[in-house]
C-alpha cells in the first residue's frame, strides 16, 4: 500500500488529490508505519513509509503550515523522533539514506 501511495504521489495527475483536506490523515498514514519495530518486515515497511513521505513532500503536496503544525505541537504524529529513528536504522542502510533524504525534504518545506 505504501509503494502504491508513493507512485500515486509521484503521478502528476493523481498526486494533487492528496493535497486537499485529507493531508493530515495522509501524514498520519505515512508516519505511523515508520515507527521503529523489530524485524525484517517492519524494516521494509519503515523504508517504504519514509520513501512515500519523502515523495509527498518533494511533490509539494503538504503545505508548510501543515507540516509545521505537525512539527510544533506533535499532533500525535511524533514526526521528528520518528524521522530520527529512521536515520539511526541499524538493520537496513537504505532506510538511513531515505531518512536523511526525508529530513532534507522537511527542512526544504
The confidence score (pLDDT) of residue 101 equals: 92
Distance CA 101, CA 64 (A): 17
* Cβ(23)–Cβ(67) below 8 Å: no
- Exposure string of 70-89, with b = 16+ CB inside 10 Å and e = fewer, is beeeeeebbbeebbebbbeb
Residue 75 has pLDDT above 60, yes or no: no
Say yes or no to pLDDT of 32 above 80. Answer: no
Q: Where are the domains of the chain?
A: 2-108
Confidence at 61, pLDDT banded by 50, 70, 90: confident
Q: What is the pTM of this model?
A: 0.83
Amino acid at each position: 500500500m505504501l509503494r502504491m501511495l508513493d507512485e500515486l504521489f509521484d503521478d502528476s495527475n493523481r498526486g494533487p488529490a492528496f493535497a486537499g483536506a485529507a493531508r493530515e490523515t495522509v501524514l498520519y498514514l505515512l508516519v505511523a508505519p515508520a515507527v521503529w519495530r523489530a524485524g525484517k518486515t517492519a524494516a521494509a515497511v519503515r523504508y517504504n513509509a519514509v520513501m512515500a513521505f519523502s515523495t509527498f513532500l518533494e511533490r509539494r503536496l503538504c503545505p508548510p503550515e501543515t507540516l509545521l503544525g505537525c512539527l510544533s505541537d506533535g499532533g500525535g504524529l511524533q514526526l521528528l523522533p520518528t524521522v530520527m529513528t529512521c536515520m539511526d536504522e541499524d538493520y537496513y542502510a537504505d532506510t538511513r539514506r531515505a531518512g536523511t533524504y526525508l529530513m532534507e525534504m522537511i527542512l526544504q518545506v
